[in-house]
Amino acid sequence: MLPAASRLEGHRYLAASIGHQASLAGVLRVDHVMAWTRLYVIPHGMPLSEGTYVSYPAEELFAILTLESHRHHCEIVGENLGTVPPEIDEALPRHKIWGMYLAEFQDWKGKKEEAPAPPTERDMALIGTHATPTLAGWLKGADIGERVHYRLMGEDGAPVEYQERAVQAEWIAKRLNTSPEDYRALLAALLEWMGRSQSPLVVPWLEDLWLEDRAVNLPGTPSSVRPNWQRPMRLTLDEVFGNADIAALVRTLDAARRA
């Protein structure tokens, strides 16, 4: 939206949009919540270098967001991943908006009792999101091969990336007392670890539950080149609900949450 035009109408459109969605959901995630403060805008037909940041009235937008959250009894999550301005890190807890904790983004290297810090009571906890590899894909480095294939990185950089990923997998397995080769056991241990945290909401990526290794989306690629968001799930919903391995993983997480 144009910030000045939105302000002139009292941000009515934004408030109605948030209110409608909050009335249907128990939890609402704001994608790229940093946009509440600014957006990088590029005029049509110009190169990336000709763009500029457009500022938004963040406090007014946060006020609308929290008001609609309160009116509709809906919790709010802000996707505070990537380059996060300090004012966002300060605003989220002040407005009682949860942030996001991604296990794949954590530094697992170090002493077992120190690395990494678990999710807090202010974090929705996930292993990855729609913009990251699945856990199985991350462990085996499937995303690295895809980035080389789609020319998002050079072939010469892939060996280093694979080596670093293998080291990360070793550390996470060591922290969770399991093996980096046993993906299912590692997933179960990770879900249990996150489940026992203070996070108010732990969300498994559905396809992780059957160890899908190809991500549904690869940021940086157009859907005309890679079929992002187009492939069906490997399992039907009936197969998901009838799968004993998936049921066992869900019970592991459920028990951890109740504990």
The reported pLDDT for the residue numbered 114 is 66
The reported pLDDT for the residue numbered 112 is 61
**pLDDT-above-90 percentage for the chain:** 92
The reported pLDDT for the residue numbered 113 is 62
The reported pLDDT for the residue numbered 81 is 92
Task: Outline where DSSP puts E strands in 190-258.
Answer: 201-203
The reported pLDDT for the residue numbered 1 is 83
The reported pLDDT for the residue numbered 16 is 97
Q: What is the dihedral of CA 75, 250, 132, 80, to 10 degrees?
A: 20
The reported pLDDT for the residue numbered 2 is 87
CB 209 within 8 A of CB 246: yes
Task: Outline where DSSP puts E strands in 70-165.
Answer: 75-78, 99-102, 123-126
The reported pLDDT for the residue numbered 158 is 96
The reported pLDDT for the residue numbered 111 is 64
The reported pLDDT for the residue numbered 118 is 94
The reported pLDDT for the residue numbered 109 is 83
Name the nearest CA neighbour of 61 among 124, 3, 5, 8.
3
The reported pLDDT for the residue numbered 52 is 94
Extents of the domains making up the chain: 1-97, 100-259
Quote the CA–CA distance of 56 and 36 in Å, as a whole number: 6
Note the pTM of the prediction, 2 decimals: 0.89
Q: Is 73 exposed, middle or buried (0-12, 13-18, 19+ CB in 10 A)?
A: exposed
For 150: left if phi > 0, alpha if psi spans -120 to 50, otherwise beta; the answer is alpha
Tokens (6 digits) for 144: 């690295």
Q: Describe the chain by its helix, strand, coil percentages, rounded to 5.
A: 50, 10, 40
- The stretches in the chain having pLDDT less than 70 are 110-114
